[in-house]
Structure 1
Amino acid sequence: MVMAEGRFHESMDQKPSVMAEFMRFLGYLMLPTVLLVAAAVAGFLDRSTPVSLFGSLSFTGLRFDPGSWFSIGHVWVFALFMVVNLTGRRHGASVAFAAVAAAGALLALVWAYAAYGDAHIIMPADMIAALGNQTMVLAVALSVMVGLLVNIVVFDLVRGRPWWKAPLLAPLFGGAAMVALFHGLAGDALAGTYADKVVSHFVIVVLATLLMLVVYHALRSIIQPRSGYGGA
């Protein structure tokens, strides 16, 4: 009886407390959240710098040139996908979801301050005007958020062997959801037909996914999965 009680107390001592687990989870959350916010801010600052990758290339009437609507800001969006995939690899879907939620909440507070607060004290007028464009803010925020969530779900579902399956399929599915929703919500705010914009944007998603796959592979030896999160 005494030995049984001793083993019970020993197991209780070894079991981490709820607070310790919570603090550990917050520790896992900090870096990806900071990186997501930093990439989002960089994308916003580069929102007006256009990018043209394909010239006037077209096929069966659809233009692959993204035109004037595609900017360096859109390129930064792919950094968000890279961060959530590496976070999912290291810590699993729960931390990746939480990081996206935390970053989204912080950015929402910034938007609310710009829209309804005294942001003119610290922000230039052009930034406040951009944040005041509710159509574009809604299109970007919802499409990127949905795309990242789809990415996290797909990554978690297909992670394993071969290693490239999750980091390849997740951004493709997440990117497709993001592209379709973004151009659907933005509507006529961007030049071009819906089909042209979606096709050209998804071509860029495919190219970016292949590039991210190379970067992901290079970082696999550095960012190892925690116990229980093997595979991709």
Structure 2
Amino acid sequence: MKMDASSFARLLPAIIAMGVIILASNILVQYPVQAMIGSFNVADWVTYGAVTYPIAFLVTDTTNRLLGAAAARRVILVGFCFGVLLSLILADMRIALASGSAFLVAQMLDVFVFDKLRQGTWWKAPFLSTLVGSALDTALFFSIAFMGTGLPWQTWALGDFVIKVAMATLLLPVFRALMTLLPAPAEKGGMAV
């Protein structure tokens, strides 16, 4: 995918956001949320990465809506390289590799599903594409990153997915607000909501 300077400049905020989200999530996934709700130990179910990672889907879906699927794929690919490079330097190698694999597959699926649903009701494309992408991302990431480690990765995966669904729901008004604040340029095939 060839990108001229003008296109790169337009996508740079999304690319930087994607890289930072990947890095933060790769570091934060190593830290369980230390809280008790009655006798329920949250640390057995949720890591801090579950809260930050869903923002990557918001970045992808916003780019897709405003600039089209091709631009969203560019943000994913460049953000992936940026995020994985930083993660290889600053996070655990196994987590960086698991994250990169899961991220790339899940985000590309998100773009595909979003693009198929883009003409429907404003919330369906971002919510359903995030739901499908999050399910695949969770399954791939946790099995690659933590299988055989003795850590409670299955419950972390389940807790992570529940948090991703909750975050997808909470981020819908943010997506809607961004569509109002950042109208799509007509020449790029984006669609204002």
Alpha-carbon shift at residue 180 of structure 1 (Å): 1.1
Q: Which moved more, 1:158-167 or 1:70-79?
A: 70-79
Identity %: 24
CA shift at 1:224, angstroms? Answer: 1.7
1-side partners of 2:169 and 2:182: how far apart?
19
Query: What TM-score do you get using the length of structure 2 for normalisation?
Result: 0.82
1:229 aligns to 2:174 (yes or no): no
Report the Cα offset of residue 42 of structure 1.
Answer: 2.9
SS at match of 1:71: coil
Q: Are the structure 2 counterparts of residues 108 and 41 from structure 1 closer, same or farther at C-alpha, using a change threshold of 3 Å?
A: closer
**Corresponding residue pairs, total:** 189
Segments of structure 2 that go 5 or more residues without pairing to the other structure are: none
Shift of 1:53: 7.8
Match of residue 152 from structure 1: 111
Name the structure 2 match of 1:219: 178
Matched, 1:34 2:10: no
Deviates more, 1:154-163 or 1:71-80: 71-80
Q: How large is the Cα RMSD of the aligned pairs? A: 2.8
Moved more, 216-225 or 48-57: 48-57
Q: TM-score, normalised by structure 1?
A: 0.69
- 1:51 aligned residue (26, 29, 33): 33
For residues 1-232 of structure 1, what are the structure 2 equivalents within 5 Å? 22-51=4-33, 55=37, 67-68=43-44, 70-111=46-87, 114=89, 127=90, 130-131=91-92, 134-185=93-144, 186-189=146-149, 191-192=151-152, 194=154, 196-227=155-186, 228-230=189-191, 232=193
CA shift, 1:111, in A, is: 5.0
Query: For each residue in 1:83-102, what CA deviation from the matched residue of structure 2 results, as whole angstroms up to 9, or x when unmatched?
Result: 11111111111111111111
Which of the pair has more CA radius of gyration?
1
1 or 2 for the larger relative contact order (CA 8 Å, sep ≥6)? 2
CA contact (8 A) 2:25 2:53 kept: yes
CA contact (8 A) 1:90 1:229 kept: yes
Give a deviation string over 1:110-161, Cα, whole Å, max 9, x none. 456x3xxxxxxxxxxxx4xx43xx3322222211222211111111111023
